[in-house]
Amino acid sequence: MSLSNKTTSRKSGMGTAPVFLTAISTILGAVLFLRFGYAVGSVGFLGALGVIVIGHLVTIPTSMAIAEIATNQKVEGGGEYYIISRSFGLTIGGTIGIALFFSQAISVAFYIIAFAEAFSPALDWLASELSLEAIDKRFISVPTLLLFAGLMLTKGANAGVKLLYAVVSVLFLALVLFFLGNTGYQPEQGVNVLLDKVDQPDPFFTVFAIIFPAFTGMTAGVGLSGDLKEPGRSIPLGTIAGTLVGMVMYIFIAYKLAISVTPERMVEDQLVMGYVALWAPVIPIGLACATVSSALGSVMVAPRTLQALGRDQIFPSKMLNNWLAFGKRETNEPYNTSIITCMLALVIIIMGDIDFVAKIISMFFMVTYGSLCLISFLEHFASNPAYRPRFKSRWYISLLGAIMCVWLMFKMNTTYAFISIILILLIYFTISRFKRDERSMAAIFRGVIFQMSRTLHVFLQKRSHTSVTEEWRPSVVSITSDSPDNMDQFNLIRWISERYGFGTHIHLHKGYLSHESVDESEKSLTQLLAMTEHTGSNVYMDTIVSPSYTTAIAQAIQLPGISGKANNMILQSYIKHSPHNLQEIIENIPLVKCLYFDIMILASSDRGFGMKKEIQIWIRPKDYVNANLMILLGYVILGHKDWSKANMKINAIYPADQMEDKRKELFNLIDEGRLPISMKNVNIISQEPEKSIKSIINQHSRFSDLTLIGFRTETIKKKGVEAFSGYDEVGNILFVNASSLIKIH
């Protein structure tokens, strides 16, 4: 049975109130009663206001992200874990879920220890009466935990919610009496109560780190998702209401303290709110109720997170997963995970000092909140049609929340931030070793990349259309029916598209469009993608089904460029010793020239690209238009790591009677920067009357690993295939034709 079915069939049907009460009772908890006076005294009212605002720059985006995600998908048991795992996949969701469980479970111990602090006045009095040095507060905390454990194991969450109503009522009464109190405090003349603070206070972010855990309670009610009648309605309403009410309450409490007590007393007296209240004992009572409610919320939520992890088979043992997933038959109460939660809390309580653990827990909460905000942000950008939440946040609010989480982790404590990240990574790699999850962040990021790609394509197209001057870079379409056998053509386009250019390699399936031909082309595409994966290339792979080479060329040259700019060059190839397709290539040159494409025709030899040590470029008397393109292509190819140890040589060949004039012309072009080469790489060769240009090229380039030779369409019309023959001594040759003179800026 699926997780959804199990959970849905056993819901107890809670409404919105438990979500709100769990959240607000955790927000207005131990930190408020024990440490908020210290914060106001240390940084002043305006500083405390800054703590509240910065803290809620995390909690408000997170609560809005939760509301958004919860109204888009059906939220089942597991609360925040369920939301994250169903968006980021089980591997990442399980990693954060485990961290979240420990955060919630140890929070139980934290709140119960704070609950025991409420009895400090009574324990101190009792110790003096009995002539004891002190009474260990664990005599209060341990029995309290055992009482909670018995309540959860026998009565379940419904009994906890009923107790929650009573606890929140007392908490409300305590706050009312606090606001009704009056100390008669009169600040000294000239003292601004909004700015007044102690001398030499703790740094702002030290105070923030102590206070921030108070704000983390806003997601406490989300953990009840599996017990809610309408989680898509109750979670947004309860969470956002709890967050906003808590923020307003903290602002008023900070102001009341600032106008009622001196900063020194606020810092020194942990129960300073009792000094302000109309009836002082109500504050320890309120502290007890607040910590009880917070502990109660955590002891209800933590087992449900661990139960959901078990249902999703996150742990390596199937027996362990099934044991954790067990719930009582009628209500699906997480019996076994409640035992684990209470045992873990008991160990922490007995240890007593949990400062280190508490700081790590705060970091884990930040990781959780940052993940929720990140999901919301990515979903906005992915524009997935399936993502249609009834409540919509804003992408910039979610992005702000995610950034604030990371920033605050390091501002609060850099060491603990790194420890938390390392622990998270260890958990992730452990889970990923045995948990293969096809659903992952990739699904969201694919949508994000798609949207970014679309936006960039449109932007570049508009810029290219309106730009008067634009630097040239190759955007090549390579088409062949021989791939993946023709590796020379594929290697050439991957070298060109590595850094400076863009490449689309198209495999041609000759035939008519049908289910069978499409299936065959998909198989070929799979092979092509494997090639790119193996070589690590940046080439975009595709296939075309077309009845002839000519129709395929017509389709290919009209494809939009993957860079957002139009394609400007085509690459075709033939094998020198068996040029069966050369005539077909030549016949389609006029078709390609219709779109003013530059043309590259690769003549592959048995030697391939040899040792990739040398590229030679030939500039002939009528190659002025082709020269810049060939030189730029040479530099582009040399930019690939495969050619990192190669050098490029330019051979300029002219008749003997034109040598001096052409030498000066070529040197002037180099001096003006029109040709991006050094004179030491230029070799000017005299064409003797008794020697043909082809014989000179054969002589000088016989050991070259790649030779670039320009060609003119007029010559092709006259000589056809013969224009490409006669280079038997030369290895791989790239014949190049530029549609126009490329200016080198």
Are 417 and 362 in contact, with CB atoms under 8 Å apart?
no
Are 155 and 338 in contact, with CB atoms under 8 Å apart?
no
What is the predicted pLDDT for the residue at 110? Answer: 80
Highest mean pLDDT (candidates 83-97, 99-113, 510-524): 510-524
CA atoms of 743 and 727, how far apart (whole Å): 30
Are 309 and 324 in contact, with CB atoms under 8 Å apart?
yes
Split at pLDDT 50, 70, 90, the class of 309 is very high
CA atoms of 255 and 253, how far apart (whole Å): 5
CA atoms of 652 and 662, how far apart (whole Å): 9
Mean pLDDT of 278-305: 83
pLDDT greater than 80 at residue 282 = yes
Q: Return the amino acid letter for 574.
A: Y
CA distances from 735 to 73, 118, 259, 472, 488 (A): 58, 87, 86, 19, 14
pLDDT greater than 80 at residue 121 = no
Q: Helix 487-496 to helix 515-535 angle, to the nearest 10 degrees?
A: 60
Rounded to the nearest 10°, the torsion over CA 307, 311, 313, 314 is -40
Mean pLDDT of 3-14: 46
Q: Return the amino acid letter for 604.
A: S
Q: Return the amino acid letter for 264.
A: E
Burial 526-541 (b: 16+ CB within 10 A, else e): eebeebbeeeebbbbb
Are 604 and 591 in contact, with CB atoms under 8 Å apart?
no
pLDDT greater than 90 at residue 413 = no
pLDDT greater than 50 at residue 191 = yes
Higher per-residue pLDDT: 284 or 332: 284
Split at pLDDT 50, 70, 90, the class of 5 is very low
CA distances from 401 to 26, 241, 365, 444 (A): 21, 18, 13, 18
Are 514 and 487 in contact, with CB atoms under 8 Å apart?
no
Judging by DSSP bridges, how do beta strands 733-737 and 598-604 pair with one another?
antiparallel
In the three-class reduction of DSSP (H, G, I as helix; E, B as strand; rest coil), residue 478 is classed as: strand
Are 67 and 239 in contact, with CB atoms under 8 Å apart?
yes
Are 31 and 214 in contact, with CB atoms under 8 Å apart?
yes
Angle at 279 between CA 278 and CA 282, to 5 degrees: 120
Angular region, 605: left φ>0, alpha ψ -120 to 50, beta rest: beta
pLDDT greater than 80 at residue 461 = no
In the three-class reduction of DSSP (H, G, I as helix; E, B as strand; rest coil), residue 343 is classed as: helix
Are 428 and 95 in contact, with CB atoms under 8 Å apart?
yes
Task: Dihedral sign for Cα 389, 394, 396, 397, please.
Answer: negative
| pLDDT tens digit sequence for 601-627 | 999 998 999 999 999 999 887 787 898
* Among 541, 599, 600, 597, CA closest to 567: 597
What is the predicted pLDDT for the residue at 13? Answer: 64
Name residues whose C-beta falls within 8 Å of residue 243's C-beta, 6 or more positions apart in sequence: 23, 27, 56, 59, 60, 63, 218
Strands of 451-537, DSSP E: 475-480, 502-510
pLDDT greater than 60 at residue 214 = yes
| pLDDT tens digit sequence for 650-672 | 898 888 777 777 777 777 766 66
Higher per-residue pLDDT: 642 or 564: 642
What is the predicted pLDDT for the residue at 583? Answer: 94
| pLDDT tens digit sequence for 380-401 | 877 666 677 878 888 899 999 9
Q: What is the mean pLDDT of the chain?
A: 83
- The continuous run of DSSP H or E covering 432 comes out as helix 414-434
Angular region, 187: left φ>0, alpha ψ -120 to 50, beta rest: beta
pLDDT greater than 80 at residue 677 = no
- The continuous run of DSSP H or E covering 163 comes out as helix 157-180
What is the predicted pLDDT for the residue at 180? Answer: 95
Name residue 478's beta-bridge partners: 505, 571
What is the predicted pLDDT for the residue at 463? Answer: 63
Per mean pLDDT, which range of 113-122, 290-299, 445-454 is the poorest?
Answer: 445-454
pLDDT greater than 60 at residue 468 = no
Q: Could you tell me where the DSSP H helices lie in 260-317? A: 263-268, 272-276, 282-311
Split at pLDDT 50, 70, 90, the class of 296 is confident
Split at pLDDT 50, 70, 90, the class of 675 is low
What is the predicted pLDDT for the residue at 744? Answer: 59
| pLDDT tens digit sequence for 327-368 | 876 667 788 998 999 898 888 888 765 556 666 667 877 888
Strands in 475-480's sheet, in edge-to-edge order, are: 540-546, 502-510, 475-480, 569-575, 598-604, 733-737, 706-710, 614-619, 647-655, 682-687
Count Cα neighbours of 397 within 13 Å in the Cβ-side half-sphere: 14
Are 464 and 566 in contact, with CB atoms under 8 Å apart?
yes
pLDDT greater than 70 at residue 32 = yes
Count Cα neighbours of 34 within 13 Å in the Cβ-side half-sphere: 23
Are 588 and 549 in contact, with CB atoms under 8 Å apart?
yes
Q: Helix 80-88 to helix 30-70 angle, to the nearest 10 degrees?
A: 40
Domains and CATH numbers, the chain: 3-185+196-437 (1.20.1740.10), 469-737 (3.40.50.12370)
Calculate the CA 143 to chain-centre distance: 45
In the three-class reduction of DSSP (H, G, I as helix; E, B as strand; rest coil), residue 612 is classed as: coil
What is the predicted pLDDT for the residue at 7? Answer: 40
In the three-class reduction of DSSP (H, G, I as helix; E, B as strand; rest coil), residue 737 is classed as: strand
What is the predicted pLDDT for the residue at 205? Answer: 86
CA atoms of 372 and 367, how far apart (whole Å): 9
Are 77 and 3 in contact, with CB atoms under 8 Å apart?
yes
* Among 303, 379, 393, CA closest to 340: 303
What is the predicted pLDDT for the residue at 1? Answer: 33
Q: Return the amino acid letter for 502.
A: F
What is the predicted pLDDT for the residue at 213? Answer: 80
User: Tokens 């702000």 appear where?
Assistant: 400
